[in-house]
Amino acid sequence: QVQLVESGGGLVQPGGSLRLSCAASGFTFNMYAMRWYRQAPGKERELVATISHFGGTNYADSVKGRFTISRDNAKNTVYLQMNSLKPEDTAVYYCNVMTGTGRYWGQGTQVTVSS
C-alpha cells in the first residue's frame, strides 16, 4: 500500500531554515509528481510546491524564492528546503501523491516559526 512519511519539522526562529523529507513507498516513485501542501490553524489546506516526475517544479507565490522542492528517485524521497522562514509559514506540512489508484497523504509534520 502507498505510504508517505514526513519528517524534519520543528520550531525555528524567523529567518531560519528547515528541510522537510517525505519517504515514499508502495508505488513506482519515479513515475509520479509529488507535492507539498500545508494547513495553518483555521485555514484551508494549500498547495505549496510541486515537482514532476522528471523534475520540473512549481511554487505558490507566497514561497517563491524561499522554498525549494527536490526529489531523489534512488531513495524514493521528496524534500522541501525552506529558507527565510516567516511566522506565516507556521503550519502542518503534508506530502501528497496522486497515482492511478487514488490520492494519498502523509501524516504531516508541524513547522512552527516563532521567536
What's the CA gap between 20 and 28, in Å, rounded?
21
Residue among 92, 98, 86 at smallest CA distance from 110: 92
Write out the chain's pLDDT in tens, 115 residues.
999 999 999 999 999 999 999 999 999 999 999 999 999 999 999 999 999 999 999 999 999 999 999 999 999 999 999 999 999 999 999 999 999 889 999 999 999 999 9
pLDDT at position 48 is 98
Residues in the chain: 115
Query: Nine-digit cell at 55?
Result: 523534475
